[in-house]
Amino acid sequence: MEAFFYFSNMDEFVVYVLFSKTTGKTYTGMTSDLITRFHFHNFKSTKGYTLRYRPWVVIHVEFFDTKKDALIREKELKSGKGREWIKKNILANYL
């Protein structure tokens, strides 16, 4: 069986936005392994914010070459202006 996803550069970092259709909540995070992290958000985590609002879908991703840049962007998206940007630019197109 062939792999569904192929990553040639595992040193990339991803900032992602999740959306819960059942509650309308969003969650922003950063990882170097989106597939594994997404699996934990939906199935493996036993505590935390994302547990309460399952199931999640990925609605936005941004890729970065450095962890520092990804963390800066994650922080921006978690700010008030960032949440507003997500609502206007991502959720408006998704809903």
3-state secondary structure of 90: helix
- Gap between the Cα atoms of 85 and 90, Å rounded: 8
Q: Which residue has the higher pLDDT, 20 or 9?
A: 20
Q: Please indicate, yes or no, if residue 18 is contained in any of the structural domains.
A: yes
Q: What is the DSSP letter of 8?
A: S
Give the DSSP H/E element, type plus range, for residue 91: none
Q: Which amino acid is at 66?
A: T
Please give the pLDDT value at position 83: 97
What are the tens digits of pLDDT across the range 62-90? Answer: 999 999 999 999 999 999 999 999 999 99
Q: Please indicate, yes or no, if residue 5 is contained in any of the structural domains.
A: no
pTM to 2 decimal places: 0.85
Say if CB 8 and CB 48 are below 8 A apart: no
Question: What residues make up the domain containing 38?
Answer: 13-83
What are the tens digits of pLDDT across the range 22-59? Answer: 999 999 999 999 999 999 999 988 888 888 999 999 99
Q: Please indicate, yes or no, if residue 30 is contained in any of the structural domains.
A: yes
The count of structural domains within the chain is 1
Q: Please indicate, yes or no, if residue 69 is contained in any of the structural domains.
A: yes
Please give the pLDDT value at position 93: 79
